[in-house]
Amino acid sequence: MATALLRSIPESFRDAITGERGRPPDVELARAQHARYRDHLEASGYAIEALAADEAHPDCVFVEDTVVIIGSVALITWPGAPSRRGEIEPVAAALADRFEIARAEAPATLDGGDVFTLGNRTWVGISQRTNPEGAQRVGEVASGQGLGVVPVPVTGVLHLKSAVSPVDEETVVVTPGTVDESLLTGLHLIYEDPGERHRFSALPLRTGRVMVTANAPRTADQLAAKGLEPIPIDVSEIQAADGGLTCISVLF
């Protein structure tokens, strides 16, 4: 059965790491938005497993960054932000009976938001949070699962998936100027609307529909024009902490 692993939002979420464009998120509104996100996942056929919030880790709702699932392996990360490294063990414990557990270890740093797999290739961002050693560790696991690996240097955004959002098995939405697009060979590219720069993110669902951020409607219209079915959802408070729609779940 398809499963969505989530993690609840702590009161300390107001102290989550935010970038230059960020602001302190509204915790109660974030929880309401998170609940609607969960409802959408349940309606799409996912069984929900929710880990408890951890007040000592304000960013723990961003569960995607703690693990990269590649085939039969759950690669537990070593987050690039030192304050987040205490988030990984509850996730490892939750997945240990379903996946072979592998780990990234220092000097590697790795955030799950820097990794996506489409077809027979895994793309890995070299970013503020994932270093070349982290990308190499992903490559070791991916090659063991029969996948090719493409490292992608990222500029101007936190993670690769902040710049390149998969919307189906062959299509991604790209924020222009953030990656070398020649490294995305074989993928169909749609470009984020210039007036919505850094607002779009997407989460493809098992139903074939695509959850999209509500504050990027023109970019969503491009998906609809290509025959995809976008579902807009407001996650403004997740975005306030530099998050997006993939950040707050792990689907498997």
- Would you name the residues annotated as active-site residues? 159, 247
Q: Taking the C-alpha atoms of 151, 81, 63 and 155 in order, what is their torsion angle to the nearest 10 degrees?
A: -40
Q: How many CB atoms lie within 10 A of CB 203?
A: 27
Angle at 90 between CA 161 and CA 93, to 5 degrees: 105
Q: 193 with 218: CB under 8 angstroms?
A: yes
Strands 115-118 and 100-103, bridge-based pairing? unpaired
Q: Determine how many CB atoms are found less than 10 A away from the CB of residue 98.
A: 12
Name the nearest CA neighbour of 128 among 85, 157, 87. 157
| Gap between the Cα atoms of 34 and 155, Å rounded | 28
Residues listed for the chain: 252
Give the list of residues 6+ apart from residue 71 with CB closer than 8 angstroms, or none.
145, 146, 147
Contact 59, 87 (CB under 8 A): yes
